[in-house]
């Protein structure tokens, strides 16, 4: 069977709660985020996934993703990978969309990128690197990362332009699964937060 890629977004932080663009700033998890990471881990270690015994795990090295990975019970199996770091928001780091739109009406990161940060082309290249790695694997892979980069990976897995990521909502501590259907890249599940209802 062709491999799947499981995408785990990090738990809630103060900045994600307030809507601030959190790129490379190392913001810690809130208690709610730590609780969510443990619940995600319980889900990943329960049937039908059963701890994904053969899965290859990689994580963004940023603290919020690494801690989510650790609390979910995969820290000892995970390799840090800079390619999974969040979009570098440059001059927009720490700003909310409303604050950005006040000075730049109509701005959309998926189309316009950010000043002094990563371009759409640069993020596309990173997402493509993750997709190529996952597709070349001989087993399922699991990544712990961030909202915009995971949405980018989702778009590129499907062979769509990065701008499609604007249509893919992704909540903190969500689980998404990308795989195959009829030989074509497919979404098995997206933005699943059922484990947080516990």
Binding-site residue ranges for substrate: 22-23, 64, 86-89
Which residue ranges are tagged as binding site? 22-23, 64, 86-89
Is 179 in contact with 188 (CB distance < 8 Å)?
yes
Please enumerate in sequence order all residues whose Cβ is within 8 A of that of 169, keeping only pairs 6 or more positions apart, or say none.
Answer: 191
Cα atoms found within 13 Å of the Cα of residue 109, Cβ hemisphere only: 30
For residues 126 and 136, what is the distance between their CA atoms, to the nearest angstrom?
Answer: 16
Distance from C-alpha of 153 to C-alpha of 131, rounded to nearest angstrom: 7
What's the start-to-end Cα distance of the chain, in Å?
32
Instruction: Tell me which of 67, 86, 93, 118 is the catalytic residue.
Output: 86
Confirm whether 21 is a catalytic residue.
no
The verdict on whether 86 is a catalytic residue reads yes
Instruction: Reduce the DSSP state of residue 13 to 3 states and report it.
Output: strand
Q: What are phi and psi for residue 75, nearest 5 degrees?
A: -60, -40
C-alpha distances out from residue 26 to 63, 118, 178, Å: 6, 17, 27
What phi and psi values does residue 35 have, to the nearest 5 degrees? -60, -45
Catalytic site positions:
10, 86
């Amino acid at each position: 069977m062709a491999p799947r890629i499981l995408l785990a977004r990090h738990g809630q932080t103060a900045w994600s709660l307030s809507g601030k663009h959190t790129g490379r700033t190392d913001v810690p998890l809130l208690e709610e985020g730590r609780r969510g990471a443990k619940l995600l881990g319980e889900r990943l270690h329960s049937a039908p996934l059963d701890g994904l015994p053969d899965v290859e795990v990689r994580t963004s090295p940023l603290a919020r993703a690494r801690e989510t990975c650790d609390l979910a019970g995969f820290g000892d199996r995970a390799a840090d990978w800079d390619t999974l770091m969040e979009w570098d928001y440059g001059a927009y780091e720490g700003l909310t969309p409303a604050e950005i739109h006040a000075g730049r009406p109509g701005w959309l990161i998926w189309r316009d990128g950010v000043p002094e940060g990563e371009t759409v082309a640069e993020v596309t290249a990173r997402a493509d690197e993750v997709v190529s790695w996952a597709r070349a694997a001989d087993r399922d892979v699991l990544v712990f990362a961030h909202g915009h980069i995971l949405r980018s990976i989702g778009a590129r897995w499907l062979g769509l332009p990065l701008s499609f990521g604007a249509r893919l909502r992704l909540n903190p501590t969500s689980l998404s699964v990308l795989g195959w259907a009829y030989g074509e890249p497919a979404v098995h599940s997206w933005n699943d937060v059922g484990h947080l209802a516990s």
